[in-house]
Amino acid sequence: MVAAIVSDDYIQKLDLTGLACPLPLLKMKLALKGMDTGQCIAVDATDTGSWKDFHKFAEITSNELLSAVEDNGVYHYVIKKGP
């Protein structure tokens, strides 16, 4: 598990709860395209597959998963856009 980061300093927050795979990952990737390197996005999702998807996405891209926490069926992610 990646440690939780609590902050309101995100460039964007996405509420993707209720969306099924692959929509949470696709919508997050689309939002990242409009951001600058080093900016962070916070994402909430309820799709259980998002846990694997977001971790794998960070592993194979230059983006960094700063936080990944599950709380009562809601997955909270913070992603920092890489170069």
Say whether 21 is catalytic: yes
Low-confidence ranges of the chain (pLDDT < 70): 1-10
Read off the pTM. 0.86
Report strand pairing: 12-16 vs 40-45.
parallel
pLDDT tens per residue across span 11-23 = 889 999 999 999 9
Residue at token pair 């509420």:
15
Domains parsed from the chain with CATH numbers? 12-80 (3.30.110.40)
Options 21, 23, 65, 69, the catalytic residue = 21
DSSP structural state of residue 2: B
Residue at token pair 């309820």:
46
